[in-house]
């Protein structure tokens, strides 16, 4: 039987057959180091602890460690724990871990907030309060749709801040927006919805997630007034009406009314992705589309843009007819957001700290957008309303191509995205999707300057 456990204080996994003896144990440890399960530089279990765990003599482990140190796999020092050798000193026969793509020096990737601005102290305070106030029973399996405290809080917050018609019984807390769109798509597929429409252009990742649940995916074009509602002919459609991604336009009032009317008349469903609705800079706040047809529009929001993606917190406000299908899809998915994060967010909102953080972020991002627009050359055309965390730059008709512009940015280690990958149909215009939120405040001037210089290299 293979031994693959440890009680040494370190969780280690060794595919080791006791009958293989000392040579087999040495081979198992070599494999663990080569595979990266025993990471470079990490301390390994003591000889006494590992011998106890594996049920072998301590001398056997001591000799194996000595052999591996002589081969260059382990590093020993008097009075210090034995460690895995650093990556640069491992034997050449050991395959090196595949390096990840380095993060760009100048982070202008869209859809990302400034993580250095995360309200650590306020979150810590909210977490402490949640732990003190919450009974032990809340940490069980019962809250299928999310923590009742957060659903109650979200009902009030969304009504106040986004004009959503909501009550806690219709709110579901999901493990991020990817999870949210997956469970909605699965629920709709179970109800016989065989086709879902997405805006063209839109994020390919979410189209793939929806398609994996069963429906066929089709595209509906977006123009300067948002989704072409007259072209929608599917039983469900996914939209970003407050700030279309990636073009940055807003769905015009007549089209908002037309979309809500179409959904009601056709018995269709609309999934409203309100991913950055809190960040409108021109004081012309646009409420949620959901308020126009609460029984046909699924409202989706998230903390990924206001706080941090790593929290994995999103929420759905559902039509009554979808509550049970979505609950079943949630159960099938096997995924739930961390209860403590849900309770902390509820405390953060109730205390007013969340609103204060959003207001500070809104002011900062407004300033950054203004600075970026002022620095851009006349040869590129900004696209979209004054809102959100990104700006679409359309390149001049006489060049350069999107690929050329992206290459110039990569040479300067600037991270951003191209528009081409978001289209669902070929031969569409290219452009650059520039995020102005992800860069820490102290680096924003440098990021903007490098972007302008990269564009100057390739534009007329």
**Which domains does the chain possess?**
18-89 (1.10.10.10), 107-111+357-458 (3.90.1150.10), 118-354 (3.40.640.10)
Interatomic CA distance for residues 391 and 414, integer angstroms: 15
Among 38-42, 325-329, 401-405, 411-415, the minimum mean pLDDT is found in 38-42
- CA distances 456 to 377, 399, 400, 404, 440, Å, are 8, 12, 11, 12, 24
The residue that leads in pLDDT, 222 or 380, is 222
What is the mean pLDDT of the segment spanning 197-218? 96
- Mean pLDDT to the nearest integer, 269-298: 93
Question: Of the ranges 63-72, 132-141, 263-272, which is most confident?
Answer: 263-272
- The pLDDT, as a whole number, for residue 9 is 56
The predicted pLDDT at position 31 comes to: 85
Question: Is the pLDDT at 192 greater than 90, yes or no?
Answer: yes
Query: pLDDT tens for residues 362-372?
Result: 999 999 999 99
**% residues pLDDT > 90 (the chain):** 69
| CA–CA gap between residue 45 and residue 422 (Å, rounded) | 49
3-state secondary structure (DSSP) of residue 164: coil
The pLDDT of residue 109 is 97
Strands 314-317 and 297-302: antiparallel
Of 289, 292, 281, the closest CA to residue 373 belongs to 281
Return the number of other C-beta atoms located less than 10 Å from residue 21's C-beta.
13
DSSP 8-state secondary structure symbol assigned to residue 441 = G
> What's the average model confidence in pLDDT over 314-320?
98
User: 444: pLDDT confidence band, cut at 50, 70 and 90?
Assistant: very high
Confidence of residue 445 (pLDDT cuts 50, 70, 90): very high
Lowest-confidence segment of 88-102, 262-276, 409-423 by average pLDDT: 88-102
Gap between the Cα atoms of 344 and 82, Å rounded: 40
Residue 2: predicted pLDDT: 46
pLDDT tops 90 at residue 148 = yes
- Quick: pLDDT tens for 17-34: 777 788 889 888 988 888
CA dihedral 393, 397, 403, 406 (to 10 degrees): -30
Helix (H) or strand (E) holding 332: helix 320-333
Inter-residue contact 174 to 183 (CB < 8 Å): yes
Report which of residues 157 and 286 the model is more confident about. Answer: 157
* Mean pLDDT value across the chain: 91
Other CB atoms closer than 10 Å to residue 186's CB: what's the count? 23
Of 5 and 152, the one with more pLDDT: 152
Q: What pLDDT was estimated at residue 100?
A: 61
pLDDT recorded at residue 102: 74
Closest by CA position to 304, among listed 127, 155, 110, 165: 110
pLDDT of residue 5: 44
Nearest to 155 by CA among 352, 312, 358, 350: 350
Which whole number is the average pLDDT over 106-127? 97
> Is the pLDDT reported for residue 432 higher than 90?
yes
How much is the average pLDDT of 119-126? 98
What pLDDT is stored for residue 89 in this prediction? 65
- Per-residue pLDDT of 178-189, as tens digits, reads 999 999 999 999
pLDDT reported for residue 415? 96
pLDDT at 4: 44
267 burial type by CB count under 10 A (0-12 exposed, 13-18 middle, 19+ buried): exposed
What is residue 101's predicted lDDT score, i.e. its pLDDT? 64
Q: Is the pLDDT of residue 308 over 90?
A: yes
What mean pLDDT comes out for the span 32-45? Answer: 85
CA pair distance 224, 218, nearest whole angstrom: 20
Contact 367, 445 (CB under 8 A): no
CA dist 156 and 166 (Å) reads: 8
- What is the pLDDT confidence band of residue 3, given thresholds at 50, 70 and 90? very low
pTM of the shown model: 0.81
Residue 246: cis peptide before it, omega within 30 degrees of 0:
yes
Could you identify the residue written with the tokens 């994020």? 203
Confidence at 10, pLDDT banded by 50, 70, 90 = low
What proportion of the chain, given as a percentage, has pLDDT over 70?
Answer: 94
Determine the Cα–Cα distance for residues 51 and 246; give it in Å rounded to an integer: 58
CA distance 351 to 130: 12
């Amino acid at each position: 039987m293979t031994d693959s456990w440890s009680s040494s204080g370190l969780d280690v996994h060794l595919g080791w057959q006791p009958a293989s003896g000392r040579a087999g144990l040495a081979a198992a440890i070599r494999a663990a180091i080569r595979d990266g399960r025993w990471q470079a530089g990490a301390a390994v279990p003591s000889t006494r602890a590992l011998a106890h765990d594996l049920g072998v003599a301590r001398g056997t482990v001591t000799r194996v460690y000595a052999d591996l140190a002589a081969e260059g796999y382990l590093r020993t020092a008097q009075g210090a724990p034995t460690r895995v050798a650093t990556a640069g000193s491992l034997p050449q026969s050991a395959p090196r871990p595949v390096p990840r793509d380095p993060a760009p020096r100048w982070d202008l990737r869209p859809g990302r907030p400034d993580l250095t601005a995360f309200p650590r102290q306020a979150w810590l305070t909210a977490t402490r309060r949640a732990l003190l106030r919450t009974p032990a029973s809340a940490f069980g399996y019962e809250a299928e749709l999310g923590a009742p405290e957060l659903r109650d809080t979200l009902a009030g917050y969304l009504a106040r801040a986004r004009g959503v018609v909501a009550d806690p019984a219709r709110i579901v807390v999901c493990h991020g927006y990817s999870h949210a769109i997956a469970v909605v798509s699965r629920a709709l597929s179970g109800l016989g919805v065989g086709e879902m429409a997405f805006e063209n252009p839109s994020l390919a990742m979410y189209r793939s997630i929806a398609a994996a649940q069963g429906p066929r995916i089709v595209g509906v074009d977006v123009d300067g007034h948002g989704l072409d509602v007259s072209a929608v002919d599917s039983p469900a459609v996914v939209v970003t009406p407050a700030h279309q991604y990636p073009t940055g336009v807003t769905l015009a009032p007549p089209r908002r009314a037309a979309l809500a009317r179409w959904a009601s008349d056709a018995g269709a469903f609309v999934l409203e992705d309100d991913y950055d609705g809190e960040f409108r800079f021109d004081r012309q706040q646009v409420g949620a589309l959901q308020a126009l047809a609460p029984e046909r529009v699924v409202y989706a929001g998230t903390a990924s843009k206001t706080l941090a993606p790593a929290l994995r917190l999103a929420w759905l406000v559902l039509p009554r007819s979808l509550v049970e299908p979505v609950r079943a899809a949630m159960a099938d998915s096997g995924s739930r957001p961390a209860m403590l994060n849900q309770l902390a967010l509820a405390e953060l909102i109730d205390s007013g700290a969340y609103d204060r953080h959003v207001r500070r972020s809104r002011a900062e991002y407004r300033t950054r957008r203004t600075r970026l627009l002022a620095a851009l050359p006349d040869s590129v055309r900004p696209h979209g309303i004054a809102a959100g965390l990104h700006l679409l730059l359309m390149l001049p008709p006489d060049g350069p191509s999107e690929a050329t512009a992206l290459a110039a940015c990569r040479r300067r280690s600037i991270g951003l995205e191209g528009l081409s990958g978001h289209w669902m149909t070929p031969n569409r215009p290219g452009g650059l999707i520039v995020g102005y939120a992800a860069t820490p405040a102290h680096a924003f001037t440098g990021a903007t300057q490098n972007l302008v210089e990269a564009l100057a290299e390739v534009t007329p």
